[in-house]
Amino acid sequence: MKNLRELTDAEAQIMKHLWILQKCSAREVMEAYGKNKPSINTVSTLIRILEQKGFVGHKPSGRSFTYFPKISRETYLQFLLSATLKQWFDNSATGMISFMKDNGMLLSDEAKSVRKMLKKDKKADKEKTDKASKK
């Protein structure tokens, strides 16, 4: 991954809108906020900061610009979760999930879904291993 850095809350909010809109003007980003929208100057400033950080690109569009994300949501989330795992959980996903469960951050329905997903992945891995050993 490139030299990604953690986004501020305000920057992350801009990126969430850009990831949904994909290509848009600063005014369209502002409108995406709904009722509690920031000023156009605030949105423009945050977009310029995100451009400097390498998260956003732009193309001329008439007298203004069309902005687009240069970093995908998945790439950023991978960076963020990897950094969290490394810094706080010694690279242990089990440690992170245990922490979430112990602190009420993982509801029982979610835990069931995670178990089901992991069981399905384990079964798929076993089938791949079986196929590979037969070759």
69, two tokens:
């994300």
pLDDT at 88 over 80: yes
Using the structure block, give the residue that is written with the tokens 């203004």. Answer: 64
Q: Give the distance, in angstroms, between the CA of residue 110 and the centroid of all CA atoms in the same chain.
A: 20
The CA distance from 133 to 76, in Å, is 37
pLDDT in tens, 2-30: 578 999 999 999 999 999 999 999 999 99
Average pLDDT over residues 76-88: 93
Query: Is the predicted pLDDT of residue 1 greater than 50, yes or no?
Result: no
46's tokens: 């945050």
What rounded mean pLDDT belongs to the chain?
89
Tell me the mean pLDDT in the region 29-46. Answer: 94
Cβ count near 129 (within 10 Å): 10
Distance CA 6, CA 12 (A): 9
Calculate what percentage of the chain has a pLDDT beyond 70: 91
Q: Which two tokens stand for residue 129?
A: 């291993």
